Structures are given as C-alpha cells and as structure tokens.
Structure 1
Amino acid sequence: MARAGLTAERITRAAADLADEIGFDNVTMSALAKKFGVKDASLYSHVRNLQELRARVTMLAAAEKTELIAAAVAGRAGRDALAAFAHAWRDYALQHPGRYTATQTPVAPGLVEADPGAVRGIELTYGMLRAYGLTEPDLTDAVRLLRSTFHGYAALEATGGFSHSRDTEASWARIIDALHVTLEQWPSSTEKDAT
C-alpha cells in the first residue's frame, strides 16, 4: 500500500525543491525517499521511474518559468516586453538553479506537445517577437538568439563566470539594449535570399 500523503504532484514538487538544493542531475529516487522518510518503493507507487520523475520536474519548471514570464510581459511590447521577458528568465535561472537546469533538458517526444505550459511558453516567446514584425524563418532564428543569450548569460553568472569588475547588471542592461536594436533591424531572410 502507498504511503499516506504521497502523491505524484507532491513527489514532483519535492524533487524540484531537491534539484534546487543539490542540482537536477543529482536527484535520485533514493535521495527523494530520504527527504520523505520512506523507502524507495513508496515512491514507485506514484512515479514509474527516475526518467518519469525528471520529466515531471522539467514540465513543472517550464510551467513555472512560463507563468513568471507571462506575468512580466503582460501589457508590454517592444523593448519593454523584451526586457521584462529577459529579467524574468534570468531571475528564474538564478533563483531556481535545479529547476532551471530541468527546463533545458529534452523530454520524450509527445510530452511537450501534450503539456499546455510548454506550448504556452513557445507561444509567448513567438508572440513577443512578432511585435518586431518577424515572420518565419526569422522568428525561429530570433528565438534561438534570445534563448542562447539568456541561457548563456545566466549559466555563466550562476557559476561565477564573470570575473571582470564591470557590474553584471550594467552588462545585462546593455545586452538587452543590443538585442532590441538587433531585433528592430533584423535582416529579412527573403532579402538575403534575393541577393
């Protein structure tokens, strides 16, 4: 019989908290069972295996990050929306390092499409970029630029990768300014194809 009080949702949230404490890659069923004071087998009544648990944490974290970004960009456009989006992304990455790592982890095919939070995150990103007048394939290229920039900056900052005396907040603000200018002046792929 399953241990009273354990549910898949409660286990997933505990795993996400544990990921923030010890790192997403260090979360195991045994470490989680210790947190609950139960044997590993008690968890398997609610979650099939470690792979499913990690996928659940990934989807939970993606939904949390999306909600923060959605609240930040609501009613904004252009540079204001871009800055709000960037700040929410970075804040989540720095405040929830284990969860953030989970958001960068691929999940099994079909899970993203079935998860409304993940779909909303994609739609939110593309919607913010459409205010710059971008269409495909430029939209996808711009998404990749933003994701690479936000992820790279947050990852370097989290590991102490910026040793220069320049204030990281000042650099971050300049990066957002540069991204805004880049997005406003994005060269259309159709123009490039014509040359």
Structure 2
Amino acid sequence: MPRAGLTPATVVREAAVLADEVGYDRLTLAALAARLGVALPSLYKHVRGVDALHQKLAVLATAEIADVLTAAAAGRSGGDALRAVAAAYRAYARQHPGRYPAAQRAPDPADPEHLAAGERAVGAVRAILLGYVLDGDAATDAIRMFRAAVHGFVALEAAGGFGLPRDTDRSFDQLIAGLDRAYLSWGNR
C-alpha cells in the first residue's frame, strides 16, 4: 500500500522543493524517498522513474513560470511589461534554483499538460510583443531573443559568472533596455 497522503502530486511538489534545496542535477529518487520517509520502491507507485519525475517537474516549473510571467504582464504594455516580465523571470530563477532548470525543457509533444503550460509561458511574452507590433516570424525571433538573453543572464548569475565590480541589477536593466530598443526598431520596419 502507498503511504497515506502520498499522491503523485505530493511526490512532484516535494521533488520540486528538494530540487531547490540540493540542485536539479542532484535530484534522485533515493533522495526523494528519504525525504518522504518511504522505501525507494514505494515511489514507483507514484512515478515511473527518474525520467518521469523530471518530466513532471518540468510541467510543474513551466506552469509556475507561466503564472509568474502572466501576473507580471497584467495591466502593463511595452517596455514596462517587458521589464516586469523579465524581472519576474529572473526572480523565479533565483527563488527556485532547482526547479528553474526543469522549466528549460522543451514541452513534450506527448504531454498535453506540458504543452499547455509552455504555451501559456510563451503566450505571456508574445502578448508583450504585440505592443511592439511584432507577430508571426518576427515574434518567434523576438521570443527566442528574450529567452536566450534573460536565461543567459540568469544562468551566468547563478553560476557566479559575473565577477566585474558592477551591480548586476544595473547590468540586467541595461540588457532589458537593449531588448526594448531592439523590439522597437523591429516594429518600426
């Protein structure tokens, strides 16, 4: 019998907390079983294996990021929305250093929940780009540019990759200001 109160959703939520504590790359079923106080084979009643756990964690983290980005964009437009969404993305990565990497997985086409979460996350950025008069292929390029720039900054920051004596918040603001200028120039073509 599975432990009372232990459900697949509980397992994934605890895996997310554990990933934030120990790191995504150190998330194992054995560590999760120990955290939950169950024998390792008991976890297989709730998740098929570590790959399935990582997939479920990717769905959870992607949905969380989608919620954060959507909330940050609400009631804003243009550069104000871009700054708010970028700041929310960065804050999520800082607050959830273990689950953030899971959200970088491209949505699994066989997982409708993951696809929906991915669409919501991308949709939050796409909505901002409409204010820059960017749609179609230009919007796709701009979404990729946003993600690459912000993720690159967040990843370097998390790895301690910024050693120069300049405030990283100021540098981040300059990065987003550069994206704003680029998007404005694309929209005016």
User: Is 1:60 aligned to 2:56, yes or no?
Assistant: no
Query: C-alpha separation between the residues in 2 aligned to 1:112 and 1:79?
Result: 32
Query: C-alpha separation between the residues in 1 aligned to 2:110 and 2:128?
Result: 25
Q: CA deviation at 1:147?
A: 0.4
Q: Unmatched 5+ residue regions in structure 1?
A: none
Runs of 4+ aligned residues of structure 1 deviating over 6 Å after TM superposition are: none
Quick check: 1:73–1:85 contact (8 Å CA) kept in 2? yes
Residue equivalent to 2:131 = 131
Moved more, 111-120 or 139-148: 111-120
| Aligned-residue RMSD, C-alpha | 1.6
Query: C-alpha separation between the residues in 1 aligned to 2:57 and 2:187?
Result: 38
Q: 1:110 to 1:5 in 2, by over 3 A?
A: same
Query: C-alpha separation between the residues in 2 aligned to 1:43 and 1:121?
Result: 30
Residue equivalent to 2:20 = 20
Matched positions, count: 189
Quick check: 1:20–1:98 contact (8 Å CA) kept in 2? yes
Quick check: 1:112–1:119 contact (8 Å CA) kept in 2? no
Q: CA deviation at 1:107?
A: 4.7
Q: CA deviation at 1:22?
A: 1.2
Residue equivalent to 1:146 = 146
Query: C-alpha separation between the residues in 2 aligned to 1:22 and 1:107?
Result: 24
User: Is 1:92 aligned to 2:92, yes or no?
Assistant: yes
One-letter amino acid matched to 1:79: G
Quick check: 2:66–2:117 contact (8 Å CA) kept in 1? yes
Q: 1:112 to 1:125 in 2, by over 3 A?
A: farther
Identity %: 43
Residue equivalent to 2:31 = 31
Residue equivalent to 2:78 = 78
Could you state the TM-score of these two structures normalised by the residue count of structure 1? 0.91
Query: C-alpha separation between the residues in 2 aligned to 1:107 and 1:39?
Result: 31
One-letter amino acid matched to 2:18: L
User: Is 1:163 aligned to 2:163, yes or no?
Assistant: yes
Q: 1:21 to 1:40 in 2, by over 3 A?
A: same
Q: 1:47 to 1:97 in 2, by over 3 A?
A: same
Quick check: 1:55–1:107 contact (8 Å CA) kept in 2? no
Please give the per-residue CA displacement for 1:34-83, whole angstroms capped at 9, x wherever unaligned.
Answer: 00111011111111111111111111011111111111110000000000
Q: CA deviation at 1:91?
A: 0.5
Q: 1:164 to 1:64 in 2, by over 3 A?
A: same
Quick check: 2:24–2:101 contact (8 Å CA) kept in 1? yes
Q: Unmatched 5+ residue regions in structure 2?
A: none
One-letter amino acid matched to 2:131: A
Query: C-alpha separation between the residues in 1 aligned to 2:101 and 2:141?
Result: 22
Q: CA deviation at 1:113?
A: 6.5
Quick check: 2:108–2:115 contact (8 Å CA) kept in 1? no
